[in-house]
Amino acid sequence: MQENKKLKVNIMKKIAVIVSAICMLAAPFASFAANPAQDLKDFKGYFTDRFPDVPLQDFTNGVYSVDKASREQWESFEEFAPYEIAIDKGETLFNTAFKNGKTYASCFPNAKKGMTQNYPYFDQKRNEVITVELAINECRTSNGEKPLKYKKGPIAHLSAYLSYQSRGAKGNVKIVDTPESMQWYEQGKKHFYAKRGQLNMSCADCHYYNAGNKIRADILSPALGHTSHFPVYRNKWAGMGTLHRRYGGCNKQVRAKPFKAQSKEYRALEYFHTYMSNGLVLNGPGVRK
């Protein structure tokens, strides 16, 4: 069983240059192995070794897979989950035609069967990683509608509906073996392991090296299974939020300037981050603290 140790936070007194994180990304390619399949295998292996009592598929329940007390509270929320309100709103939005008569279904013919397991995907023609939220807005703008804001509100409701339709499907992000696609993957991987902010911490510091340990009174969730339940109803937000909303919040928590939702940085991170949970069964949308 995992012992809970207090994570010692080394608060840097010096004024951290916010740009330092960005400089890290601009540095010449370091010695990262260009082998996503091996990375995925190692990632899963690390977490299954670290938490031998947790079945692989349970990692999609995040911190609740490693902590009994909070799992009980979460299960009581799941009895009638607050995200159900968002799913209903999303369904109504999805089925409402645009001014030009077309509907979201014309952009997403597979939505009702489940499509989010294939996101994000790399669009080779455009050299862009396409996320669900980005695709939603591109569907809107190509049909003469205004784009939605990316972190909460209608975009999160639509995303919740789409995520719900994909519940039960296995994560199936494809890292295409081209230099352009690999560049996105590597950028995302670097972001995950790079230290940033005044607290000089990386995603990995908390969610990889200290997964299961405590930071004050919170237990750090393992990064394996992280993305499977998004978008998420956070009790803290008292509402739904997208993955990029959470990325921004996490960056702010280590006192790093957040990137914009759907920026290249966050889409690259999402590409790597979601791929690292491939094969795990999607269980979105979720409810978390």
Partner 1 sequence: MNNKRRSFIKSSAAAGAFGVAVGAGLIAPRAVLAAWPKAAFEAKEVNAAVQGAFGSSAMAESSDITLKAPEIAENGAVVPITVTSKIPNTESISLLISENPTPLTATFHLGSNTEGFVSTRVKMSKTSDVVAVVKSGDKLFSTKLTVKVTIGGCGG
Partner 2 sequence: MAKSSIKVRAKVKKGTTTVKALISHAMETGMRKNKKTGKNFPAHFIQEVTCSHNGTNVMTADWGTAISKNPYLSFKFNGAKSGDTLKVSWVDNKGESDSAEAKIK
Minimal distance in Å, beta carbon 96 to partner 1? Answer: 30
**Amino acid identity, position 163:** S
* 4 makes contact with partner 2 (CB under 8 A): no
Residue count at the site for partner 2 (CB under 8 A)?
9
Q: Is 253 in the site for partner 1 (CB under 8 A)?
A: yes
Q: Which residue has the tokens 């190509």?
A: 142
Specify the pairing of strand 128-130 against strand 239-241. Answer: unpaired
Region of 60-68, 75-83, 159-167, 216-224 interacting with partner 2 (CB under 8 A): 75-83
Q: CB under 8 A: which stretch of 53-61, 77-85, 223-231, 276-284 binds partner 2?
A: 77-85
| 217 is an interface residue for partner 1 by CB under 8 A | yes
Which of partner 1, partner 2, none sits in contact with 174, Cβ below 5 to 8 A by type?
none
Quick count: other Cβ atoms within 10 Å of Cβ 272?
26
> Does the annotation mark 250 as catalytic?
yes
Largest distance between two CA atoms of the chain: 58
Binding mask 56-95 for partner 1 (x = CB under 8 A): -------------xx-xxx-xx------------------
Closest to partner 2 by CB, 11 vs 238, is 238
Asked if 11 touches partner 1 (CB under 8 A), the answer is no
Rounded Cα distance between 154 and 150, Å, is 9
Please tell me the total number of residues recorded for the chain in this structure: 289
Structure tokens given for 148: 């939605």
CB 271 within 8 A of CB 130: no
What is the C-alpha to C-alpha distance for residues 166 and 284, in angstroms, rounded to an integer? 8
Instruction: Please choose which of partner 1, partner 2, none residue 85 contacts, taking the beta carbon within 5 to 8 angstroms, the exact cut-off set by kind.
Output: partner 2
Collapse the DSSP code of 41 into the 3-class scheme (helix H, G, I; strand E, B; otherwise coil) and give the result. helix
Burial class of residue 264 in the structure, from the number of CB atoms within 10 Å of its CB (0-12 exposed, 13-18 middle, 19+ buried) = middle
88 binds partner 2 (CB under 8 A): yes
Beta-carbon count within 10 A of 48 CB: 15
Catalytic residues: 250
Which residues of this protein are in contact with partner 1, per CB under 8 A?
7, 69-70, 72-74, 76-77, 214-218, 235-236, 238, 249-250, 252-253, 289
Which residues of this protein are in contact with partner 2, per CB under 8 A?
79-82, 84-85, 88, 92, 238
